[in-house]
Amino acid sequence: MRLRPAAITLAVTALLGITAAPAHAAPHRAAGDTVTTTLYAAIDDLPVADESRDGYVRTAFRHWTDADGNGCDTRKEVLIAEAVDKPAVGPKCALSGGIWVSPYDDLVLTDSKLLDVDHVVPLAEAWDSGASNWSAKQREQYANDLDEPRALIAVSAKSNRSKADKDPADWMPPAAGYACTYLADWTAVKTRWGLSVDAREVDALHRIAAGCDDAELQVVLAR
pLDDT in tens, 23-52: 333 456 788 999 999 999 999 999 999 999
At position 93, the amino acid (one-letter code) is: C
User: If pLDDT is split at 50, 70 and 90, which confidence band does 223 have?
Assistant: confident
Query: Which residue(s) pair with 102 in the sheet?
Result: 107
List, for residues 96-143, the tens digit of each pLDDT value. 999 999 999 999 999 999 999 999 999 999 999 999 999 999 999 999
Average predicted confidence (pLDDT) for the chain: 90
Rounded CA separation 4/14 (Å): 16
The confidence score (pLDDT) of residue 30 equals 86
Kindly report the pTM of this predicted structure.
0.86
Task: Give which of 79, 122, 123, 125 is closest to 102, Cα–Cα.
Answer: 79
Higher pLDDT among residues 210 and 14, named by residue: 210
Interval 189-204 mean pLDDT: 98
Report pLDDT for 61.
Answer: 98
Q: How far apart are CA 40 and CA 72, in angstroms?
A: 37
Packing angle, helices 199-209 and 179-192, rounded to 10:
140
How far is the C-alpha of 132 from the C-alpha of 90, rounded, in Å?
A: 38
